[in-house]
């Protein structure tokens, strides 16, 4: 009981503190790849600390939904952090499956979209409209990828999938599995607002999807939303790393095992972050109405992965 509680606290800390570090490292890498020195990898911590000290400005057209959304979003991401297999194969919320995780992300998107509409400006409405459209179109791919994984492991429980795939390590380099990984990677790009779906560093409102919804936020509200977005990215990357390639994820909860698990996760995350930085540097943002084509392509990959799993049994 106490070990479970300690594990929960530890996992929450790892995700909460690791998320800004991942985002900062990504920014530094992208800067280096275009020939700039770039910010230090822990810059997001400095940004968050500064934001906490600012007095928020709240619009008088908004309602309680605008003020409540940052907390709801942060809360949903914290629960998602506890439900993902980060440190051990069985997360603190041991019953969690992928569907619960994706629904928690949708909960956050729902409230963020409402907050975008609440401000009463055209920017917010546009951001909300685009964000929910991208999220809706990414859903079929998620479920088909889940189906592919569930077929292989005979369960949708995250911890059980990790344990079953790690019991047969060669399962991870199977064709169906790799196709599902690629499909899920594209979904990650769409859901976390990375290039080529959305440029997180853009200043042009007409090209924004996620940023446009948060244009009204300031101070500690903005800090919580930025932190929640960083946690979402980290949870997605952790899923990609630990769910599809669960090598080195410990099953038992001892100090040594946890440390090794953390090191393995960091190693996998480094590979993913470098790949993501390279991809974002080399690819331009897609026109907004080409994004459904990308998501349809990822859906096709998902269906292919299911067929591969079924046929190559």
Partner 1 sequence: MLRQLRLAIRTGIVTEPPPTEAEIERLGAQVAGEIRVRFGRSLAIRQVDAGSCNGCELEIGGLTGPHYDLERFGVHFVASPRHADCLLVTGPVTRNMAEALRRTWLATPDPKLVIAAGDCAGDGGIFRGSYAVVGGVREIVPVDALISGCPPSPAALLAGLLDALGRPR
Partner 2 sequence: MASVVYALTALLSAAVTTAGITGLLGVRWLTRIEWLVPLGGFELEMDPLAGLFVALVGAVAVATSIYAVGYAGRDRRGCVAHAAFIGAMALVPLAANVMTFVLAWELMSLASYVLVLDGARAGREASASTHAAWVYAVMTHAGLACMLAGMLLLTAWTGSPRFADWGAAAPALGAGARSLVWALLALGFAAKAGAVPLHVWLPLAHPAAPSHVSALMSAVMIKLGVYGLLRASFVWLAPAQVGWGVALLLVGALSAVAGVLYAVVDRDLKRLLAFSSIENVGIVFVGTGAAVAFAATGLPSLALLALVAALYHAVNHAAFKSLLFMAAGGVLHGTGTRDMELLGGLIKRQPWTATCFLVGAIAIAGLPPLNGFVSEWLIFQALLQNDLLSWPTMNLVFALAIAGLALAAGLAVACFVKAFGITFLALPRSEAAATAHDAAPTMRAAMLVTAAGCAALALGASWVVPALGAVGATLIAAPPPVTLGPWLTLEVSGDFATLSVPAVALALTGGVLLPIVLLAAARARPRPRRFETWSCGRLLQTARMEYTATAFADPFTRVFDFFYRPVRRLDVDLHPESRFFVRSIRYENPTRFIVDEWLYQPLGRVLRAATRHIGVIQSGSPNLYLAYVLAALLLLLLVA
Task: State yes or no: cis peptide before 196, omega within 30 of 0.
Answer: yes
Residues 48-67 close enough to bind partner 1 by CB under 8 A: 49-50, 53-57
| Given 219, 248, 292, 297, the residue binding partner 1 (CB under 8 A) | 219
Task: Kindly write down the DSSP assignment for every residue of 229-252, as one continuous string.
Answer: HHHHHHHHHHHHHHHH--TT--SS
Distance CA 202, CA 191 (A): 17
Query: How many chain residues bind partner 1 (CB under 8 A)?
Result: 37
**Residue 248 binds which one of partner 2, partner 1, none, with CB within 5 to 8 A depending on kind?**
none
Residue 285 binds partner 2 (CB under 8 A): no
| Given 42, 46, 120, 283, the residue binding partner 2 (CB under 8 A) | 120
**Residue 128 binds which one of partner 2, partner 1, none, with CB within 5 to 8 A depending on kind?**
partner 2
Distance CA 101, CA 17 (A): 20
Burial class (CB in 10 A: 0-12, 13-18, 19+), 197: buried
Beta-bridged to residue 157, according to DSSP, are 97
Query: How many chain residues bind partner 2 (CB under 8 A)?
Result: 84
Residue 65 binds partner 2 (CB under 8 A): yes
Residue 2 binds partner 2 (CB under 8 A): no
Distance CA 94, CA 114 (A): 31
How is residue 285 annotated by DSSP? P
Residue 40 binds partner 1 (CB under 8 A): yes
- Residue 101 near residue 84, CB atoms below 8 Å: yes
| Given 1, 2, 3, 37, the residue binding partner 1 (CB under 8 A) | 37
Residues 225-284 close enough to bind partner 2 by CB under 8 A: none
> How many Cβ atoms sit within 10 Å of the Cβ of residue 182?
17
> In this chain, which stretch among 96-104, 169-177, 193-201, 238-246 interacts with partner 2, using CB under 8 A?
96-104
**Residue 35 binds which one of partner 1, partner 2, none, with CB within 5 to 8 A depending on kind?**
partner 1
| Given 47, 90, 110, 211, the residue binding partner 2 (CB under 8 A) | 110
């Amino acid at each position: 009981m106490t070990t479970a509680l300690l594990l929960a606290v530890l996992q929450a800390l790892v995700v909460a503190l690791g998320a800004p570090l991942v985002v900062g490292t990504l920014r530094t890498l992208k800067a280096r790849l275009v020939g700039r020195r770039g910010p230090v990898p822990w810059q997001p911590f400095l940004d968050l600390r500064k934001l906490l000290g600012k007095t928020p400005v709240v619009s008088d057209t908004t309602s309680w939904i605008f003020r409540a959304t940052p907390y709801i979003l942060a809360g949903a991401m914290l629960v998602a952090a506890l439900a993902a297999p980060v440190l051990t194969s069985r997360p603190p919320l041991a019953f969690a499956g992928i569907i619960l995780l994706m629904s928690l992300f949708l909960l956050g998107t729902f409230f963020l979209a409402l907050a975008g509409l609440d401000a009463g400006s055209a920017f917010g409405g546009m951001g909300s409209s685009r964000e929910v459209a991208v999220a809706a179109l990414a859903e079929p791919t998620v479920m088909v990828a889940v189906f592919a994984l569930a077929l292989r492991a005979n369960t949708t429980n995250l911890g059980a999938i990790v344990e079953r795939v790690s019991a047969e390590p060669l399962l991870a380099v199977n064709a169906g599995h790799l196709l599902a990984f690629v499909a899920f990677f594209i979904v990650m790009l769409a859901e976390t607002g990375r290039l080529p779906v959305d440029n997180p560093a853009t200043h042009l409102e007409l090209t924004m999807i996620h940023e446009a919804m948060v244009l009204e936020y300031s101070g500690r509200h903005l800090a919580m939303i930025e932190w929640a977005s960083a946690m979402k990215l980290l949870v997605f990357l952790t899923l990609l790393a630990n769910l599809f390639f669960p090598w080195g994820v410990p099953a038992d909860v001892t100090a040594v095992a946890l440390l090794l698990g953390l090191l393995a996760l960091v190693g996998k995350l480094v590979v993913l972050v470098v790949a993501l930085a390279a991809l974002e540097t080399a690819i331009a943002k897609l026109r907004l109405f080409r994004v459904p084509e990308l998501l349809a392509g990822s859906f096709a990959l998902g269906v292919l992965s299911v067929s591969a799993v079924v046929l190559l049994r």
